[in-house]
Amino acid sequence: MAGGGGGGDGEPEFQVAPLIDVLLVMLIFFMSITTSQTLKVDQSIQLPVTPAGIKRDDKAKCGLINISWDSGLKVAKFKLDDRDIGEIDTETPSVNGIGPLIKELERRRGTDAGFRLLVRADKNVQAKFINKALMWGAEAGIDNIAFSGLNQ
């Protein structure tokens, strides 16, 4: 009986090249289907300190609204991830043309029941501006909202 490929001592020779090919294809496949969602955190925001804060370890998909406070101009500046939403002054807390923001939040939420809206507000931001972010989340159909703070 003729056997294919092997040493003179009767041991079959192991082909490594096809194994490497399959391994690389699998690696490319898993890299392409994996989504990496990174939150764009605004480092200039001074978070409030809360002794009852709990670190969330779940990796749920979420949208991030950063609210910073410009004390010189007395305006709140809103960002969705790292994209500016607008500035809102203290007298009229409303933004014109907020429809695209609501549509973007709805698109991100999709059909995911675990989608969460994370609000990171500066400790000097007034509650009426945080309320605006909550209203935008509600209009987008998001009922899971978390606030970010420091536990120190």
Digit-coded pLDDT (tens) for 5-42: 555 667 778 888 889 999 999 998 888 776 555 556 66
Confidence (pLDDT) at 21: 92
The whole-angstrom separation of Cα 78 and Cα 76 is 6
93 lies in some domain: yes
Confidence (pLDDT) at 22: 92
**Digit-coded pLDDT (tens) for 92-118:** 444 555 777 788 888 888 887 778 888
Query: Taking 90 as the threshold, does the pLDDT of residue 90 lie above it?
Result: no
Per the structure, how many domains does the chain have?
A: 1
Indicate which CATH number applies to the domain containing 116: 3.30.420.270
Query: Taking 80 as the threshold, does the pLDDT of residue 51 lie above it?
Result: no
68 lies in some domain: yes
Query: Taking 70 as the threshold, does the pLDDT of residue 53 lie above it?
Result: no
Containing structural domain, residue 141: 62-147
89 lies in some domain: yes
27 lies in some domain: no
